[in-house]
Amino acid sequence: MISTTVPGLQHRTVLLDEAVDALAIEGARASGTYIDGTFGRGGHSRLILSRLGDKGRLVAFDKDPQAIATAEQVGDPRFAIVHDSFATMQGALAARGIDRVDGVLLDLGISSPQVDDAARGFSFRQDGPLDMRMDTTRGVSAAEWLATVPEQQLEKVIRDYGEERFAFQIAKAIVARRAIEPISGTRQLAGIVADAVKTREKGKDPATRTFQAVRIFVNQELEDLETGLNAAYAMLAGGARMAVISFHSLEDRIVKQFLASKAKVAQPDRRLPIKAADLPQPQMKLIAKIKPSAQEVADNPRARSAVLRVAERIGGAA
């Protein structure tokens, strides 16, 4: 496992070897083009580069300006970084004259430096401004959104994106508080949620699900994921692989269903006179579902919920 350090903060890349191994960068494919959908602090990207040949290329994406600053220090002519969501990969690669790739890695988790930096507003464990944007240069912060969102929409977001059964009570409490004072700090929001949630499973902070929901909404994470999966699929060359690491059930469900839809085909009526060669064929082959080892979870507890799913393109992009 590679650990990279940024000022006072440490980031451990989850499923580092497993994810890069899954791309099967070997033989002629070492000269291919690959996508790292979330550069983070560069663990996956650096390992991919170590396995590429001289003619290989890697294009990475990230919304986070701090990640971009780290990526700009890589100094490898085979590497390019794009300050945007991986959902934009088709357009970004087309601008570079690339329409086929030999592998795509999507790491959907937020990084430890993002969580641990109080100024980013992702964590309720320390006080900071209620921002939550992965890209601090654009978009609406969590505080700005919470100041105006209608109560019914807020309830829906907390329920659907946080899988929170107390969404009604939490939304009502937030709207009531903002009528008295602006909700601008992480501990402030966490306190409102804690007062509204009377019971919670042991060992879990009452604010966990609400913070997840707001973060997902503010960053359009699920929309980006669906767009990115379709874009990656469209760009994969025959035999190329897609590896996706998710960290919560909403993400994993989308990934699982997407890959399954490409690996299965609707079977026609057996009574119809259709030749075997004319039968619909699957477009992808499911390769693996991998979870972190007990040792990795012991070394990095944040890895415990990670799931890596791998599939391979059959044939090639149309």
| Binding residue positions for S-adenosyl-L-methionine | 42-44, 62, 86, 107, 114
CA atoms within 13 A on the CB side of 264: 8
**Dist CA 45 CA 68 (whole Å):** 13
Amino acid making up residue 255? V
Structure token pair of residue 256? 């699982």
**Dist CA 282 CA 106 (whole Å):** 22
Q: What is the largest CA-CA distance in the chain?
A: 71
Sequence-ordered list of residues with C-beta below 8 angstroms from that of 226, at least 6 positions apart, any chain: 254, 258
Q: Binding site: which residues?
A: 42-44, 62, 86, 107, 114
Strands 3-6 and 101-107: unpaired
